[in-house]
A = this chain, B = another copy of it.
Amino acid sequence: MSKIRLLLVDDHEIVRAGLRMLFLAEPDMEIVGEAGGGADAIRAVADLHPDVVLMDVAMPGMNGIEATRRIKEANPETAILALTMYEDEQYFFEMLNAGASGYIPKRAAPDDLVSAIRVVSQGNVFLYASLARFLLNEVLPTHDAKAGDSLTEELTPREREVLTHIAEGKTNREIADVLIISPKTVDRHRENIMQKLNLHSRVELVKYAISRGLIRVE
C-alpha cells in the first residue's frame, strides 16, 4: 500500500512544523509539500498532486475557501481537509460548498486528525463532532450581543454617531447633511476617530464598527 501524500497549507510556519512532527509518527503518511498561502497551494497541488490537502481556512491574501474552490475545479480527485481555528458555521458551510471533504478544528486530538486524513483520502467525508450539529441544527440563536466595552470609553458620543454613519457607507457630505453640520466637521471627527483607534481607512473603520456591534451586516 502506498503512502498517503499530504500537502500542508497554513500561513504560520509554526503550525506547519507541528504538523510535520505529527506525521513523522504515521508510517502510512508522508508530507510531499507545504504552502504558506492560497496561491502557493494551488501551484503546489498542480505540481505535486497530493492525495490530501490540509487547508487552513483563514489566511491573508487568498483564503482557504477560495483556494479550495480552485483546487477542486482543476483537480477534483484531490481531497481537501479543512483544518481551522474557527468552529464557525459560516466557514463550515462555505468550505464544504467549496469542495472540502472534511472539517476539523486545530484543537482536535492528533488521533482525530490522522483519522480524518485516512477518511478523506478514501473519498469519504469527515466532520468533527462540534461541527456536526450545524448539519441538523440549522440556525443557532447565539446572538449574544455583548455591548459596552472599550469603544464606549474611547470615543465620544458624537464620534460614535459619525462612525456609525461611515460604517453604513455614507460619504462625509451625506453625513454632514444628516447631522446638519459642515462636511469639514465630519472630516474632523473621522480624523479623531482614526487617530484614537489607530485605523487608517474607511474600510478599517467599518470592520471595527462591525466588530463592536455598532452596525450589523446584512
Chain B residues within 8 Å of A97, by CB: 136, 140, 144, 148-149, 152
Task: Find out whether the CB atom of B132 lies under 8 angstroms from the CB atom of A122.
Answer: no
Give chain A's interface residues, CB within 8 Å of chain B.
Answer: 58, 60-63, 65-66, 69-70, 86, 88, 90-91, 93-94, 96-97, 101, 109, 111-112, 115-116, 118-119, 122-129, 131-132, 135-136, 138-140, 143-144, 147-149, 152, 157, 160-161, 164-169, 171, 178, 201-204, 206-207, 210-211, 213-218
Q: Which of B60, B122, B165 contacts A129 (CB 8 A)?
A: B122
Instruction: Report the separation of the CA atoms of residues A110 and B15 in the bound assembly, to the nearest whole angstrom.
Output: 33
Rounded to whole Å, the gap between the CB of A40 and the closest CB of chain B is: 13
Instruction: Report the separation of the CA atoms of residues A109 and B122 in the bound assembly, to the nearest whole angstrom.
Output: 10
Given contacts A97-B140, A169-B207, A203-B203, contact A214 B65 (CB under 8 A): yes
Task: Find out whether the CB atom of B169 lies under 8 angstroms from the CB atom of A204.
Answer: yes
Chain B residues within 8 Å of A90, by CB: 147-148, 213
What 9 A-B pairs come out closest when comparing CB atoms?
A: A123-B129, A125-B127, A211-B218, A90-B213, A169-B203, A125-B132, A211-B217, A93-B144, A94-B213
Most buried by B among A93, A128, A138: A93
Task: Find out whether the CB atom of B129 lies under 8 angstroms from the CB atom of A127.
Answer: no
Given contacts A96-B140, A178-B61, contact A125 B126 (CB under 8 A): yes
Instruction: Report the separation of the CA atoms of residues A149 and B98 in the bound assembly, to the nearest whole angstrom.
Output: 10
Instruction: Report the separation of the CA atoms of residues A108 and B169 in the bound assembly, to the nearest whole angstrom.
Output: 32
Instruction: Report the separation of the CA atoms of residues A90 and B209 in the bound assembly, to the nearest whole angstrom.
Output: 12
Rounded to whole Å, the gap between the CB of A151 and the closest CB of chain B is: 10
User: What are 22 A-B residue pairs whose CB atoms fall within 8 Å in the complex?
Assistant: A61-B178, A63-B214, A66-B157, A66-B160, A88-B216, A90-B147, A90-B213, A91-B213, A91-B216, A93-B144, A94-B148, A112-B122, A112-B124, A115-B124, A116-B124, A119-B119, A122-B129, A127-B127, A167-B203, A206-B206, A207-B218, A211-B218
